[in-house]
Structure 1
Amino acid sequence: MAKAFASSGDMEAKKISFTEVGRDLYAFTAEGDPNTGVIIGDDSVMVVDAQATPVMAQLVVDKIREVTDKPIKYVTLSHYHAVRVLGASGYGASEIIASEKCEGMIYERGQEDWDSEYGRFPRLFDAADSIPGLTWPTMTFKDRMTINMGKRKVELMHLGRAHTAGDIVAWVPDEGVMFTGDTVEYNSACYCGDGHFNDWGTTLDAIKAFAPDAIAPGRGDALVGQEMVNKAIESTRDFVESTYKPAARVAVRGGTLKEAWDAVRAECDPKFADYAIYEHCLPFNVARAFDEARGIDTPRIWTAERDQEMWASLQG
């Protein structure tokens, strides 16, 4: 029996957690579904990553209202992917912040990504008809921006390419807490289909240099304490390297994508097969690793049609 495409057959609702990772700092998590961060300042709230629809965003708003009645002023996008950005209108924020590169990627491939991701994982797009259209930032920056939320400062930084070319993190120095988006995951597969394998480790090193006391990762449980933080950073590094190196060896000798798929499975299955969305990510990860190893620096745009063709060729 053929496997269901990507996560199209995953319709099981996940348990939501709302974990305090520092004073007035929270991670909204859901057993491997996309996470959202919450930063409460003196006079307002910042949300980091928006969920995929305004209806999904309301689940985050409900949790925020359990701990504060301050207005949600900022929505910060860690990167351009549809499951992270299309729910932004649900917060009523006055500012939507992203890197310049993220904004460029929305122009370049935002609609294609929306169509692609909806086909891959329809459960994450609850009430998809509530999405008003592509999400556009109102504020952008190249490398760094400081947001003053009263006495609390939030440092938004592009530390390097990883999950996408436009990734940013949000650093809250008064509590030593970082919101990393999908640059760091915990017990969840990294989606590398738009990634930069050879840069990812350096970006992880830059995160590690801050010595965070807690991290809200892109997927998986909140990471509280430096031991758990470092474990997640290193497991993310291992996942990325274990995906790229076997695919690169096949590419260098002129092998096929299917041979790269087999080589990556042999390396990764024993270590990561029980991770959330592992089977979902694997074909896209292998395809991108194979491309990067052959010198294709800018990830090719995924379309709904390309998704299906690639899936069929690798899954059989």
Structure 2
Amino acid sequence: MASESLSHDPIVEPGNARELAPDLLVIPDRGVDLVPNIGIIGGSHSVLVVDTGMGPRNAEKVLAFAAEYAKGRRLYLTTTHFHPEHAFGAQAFAGEATYLVNSAQAADLAHKGPGYLEMFRGLGAPVARQLEGVELVAPDEIYPEARDLDLGGRIVQLRATGRAHSKGDQVVTVPDAGVLFTGDLVEAGQFSIFPWFPPHDTDVSGLRWIEVMRRLIDTHPTLVVPGHGETSGPQVLTDVRDYLELLRDETWARRDSAVSEETTAAEVKALMLERHPDWTGQEWIEKGVACLCTEHA
């Protein structure tokens, strides 16, 4: 997700897919804003696609790549959360794949999807082009919090995490390969994305996000595929947790000393940029401060 206008088209390039483990690929984001990392996970009789890319044309390319890769195997689609670059291409999979998500994410899509579609169309012509013709389709299968999907000789675990980056966040784990797809719960080399857009959306929770990160660290994955950024080892989970905890602590120390929110945001941002000078997405720091100013232990 990006909060500023883009000057380039957010295009998914399936030709850059690379193997992380046997029958398990990632289509990397290549460092392009509003392009997610997309997973292709295979078993003996089925293939699961994780996230669609933004809009129907990106998703059509992902579907074509996945169908060719599947070689006749059944296709499934799941999305890590409802935000446009992750889920607003699901219409391309209709009739070709079974689309399944958790109930909180389905509710997010139904209730907030139209508003996010309009908001993202305002991010500039390149984004608006990719969102032309978007239809928000309902999932084929909705499960409460967990679904173990049998792809044939490989079980993939779909798990709702509870409210954090969004109300419907979901992680996808491939236990036999030790691979964890996190969506935007984790970004590599980027400040955590806080979709804090009052009054339209204030469901992000920094405190719950920290708890989710602690649980994910305890799962001990071998490889982590973030929503955006390079696939890496499990240290990225600790990096995100540590950043969120520091953001909370520094925000609350200033809030509780009656410093203005504007001053708090400026001071905390300066501290975070000093701590992580190479991270991108610095515009999300202030939104994280604004969110955490409203939260209490």
TM range (shorter): 0.7 to 0.9
C-alpha displacement at 1:72, in angstroms?
Answer: 5.9
Q: Distance in 1 between matches of 2:23 and 2:274?
A: 39
**Equivalent residues of 2:6, 2:123 under 8 A apart:** no
1:25/1:125 CA distance change after superposition, 3 Å: farther
C-alpha displacement at 1:126, in angstroms?
Answer: 4.1
Q: How many corresponding residue pairs?
A: 283
* 2:22 maps to amino acid: R
Residue in structure 1 matching 2:246, options 242, 247, 250: 242
Q: Does 1:95 align with 2:98?
A: yes
C-alpha displacement at 1:62, in angstroms?
Answer: 5.1
* 2:213 maps to amino acid: L
C-alpha displacement at 1:156, in angstroms?
Answer: 0.8
1:184/1:91 CA distance change after superposition, 3 Å: same
1:86-116 CA-to-partner distances (Å, cap 9, x unmatched) read 1112234432111111112223322222222
1:12-52 CA-to-partner distances (Å, cap 9, x unmatched) read 76895422122111121223432211111222221111112
1:120/1:252 CA distance change after superposition, 3 Å: farther
Cross-structure match for 1:276? 280
1:177/1:67 CA distance change after superposition, 3 Å: same
C-alpha displacement at 1:202, in angstroms?
Answer: 2.2
* 1:198 maps to amino acid: L
1:102-149 CA-to-partner distances (Å, cap 9, x unmatched) read 1122233222222223324654554321312x2322212222111111
1:15/1:139 CA distance change after superposition, 3 Å: closer
Q: Distance in 2 between matches of 1:135 and 1:118?
A: 18
Residue in structure 2 matching 1:128, options 126, 131, 151: 131
Cross-structure match for 1:312? none
1:221/1:248 CA distance change after superposition, 3 Å: same
Cross-structure match for 1:267? 271
Q: Distance in 2 between matches of 1:270 and 1:137?
A: 43
Cross-structure match for 1:153? 155
Cross-structure match for 1:232? 236
Cross-structure match for 2:220? 211
Q: Does 1:8 align with 2:8?
A: no
Q: Distance in 1 between matches of 2:194 and 2:237?
A: 16
Cross-structure match for 2:293? 290
Higher RCO structure, 1 or 2 (CA under 8 Å, sep 6+): 1
Q: Does 1:166 align with 2:168?
A: yes
Identity score, percent: 24
**Equivalent residues of 2:161, 2:168 under 8 A apart:** no
**Equivalent residues of 2:10, 2:54 under 8 A apart:** no
**Equivalent residues of 1:247, 1:263 under 8 A apart:** no
Q: Distance in 2 between matches of 1:131 and 1:149?
A: 29
**Equivalent residues of 1:260, 1:290 under 8 A apart:** no
C-alpha displacement at 1:69, in angstroms?
Answer: 2.7
1:70/1:207 CA distance change after superposition, 3 Å: farther
Cross-structure match for 1:221? 230
**Equivalent residues of 1:56, 1:125 under 8 A apart:** no
**Equivalent residues of 2:180, 2:221 under 8 A apart:** yes
Provide the secondary structure at the position in 2 that maps to 1:183: strand
* 1:210 maps to amino acid: T
Provide the secondary structure at the position in 2 that maps to 1:245: helix
1:223-243 CA-to-partner distances (Å, cap 9, x unmatched) read 2xxxxx222111111332233
Q: Any gaps of 5 or more consecutive residues in structure 2?
A: 196-202
* 2:163 maps to amino acid: R
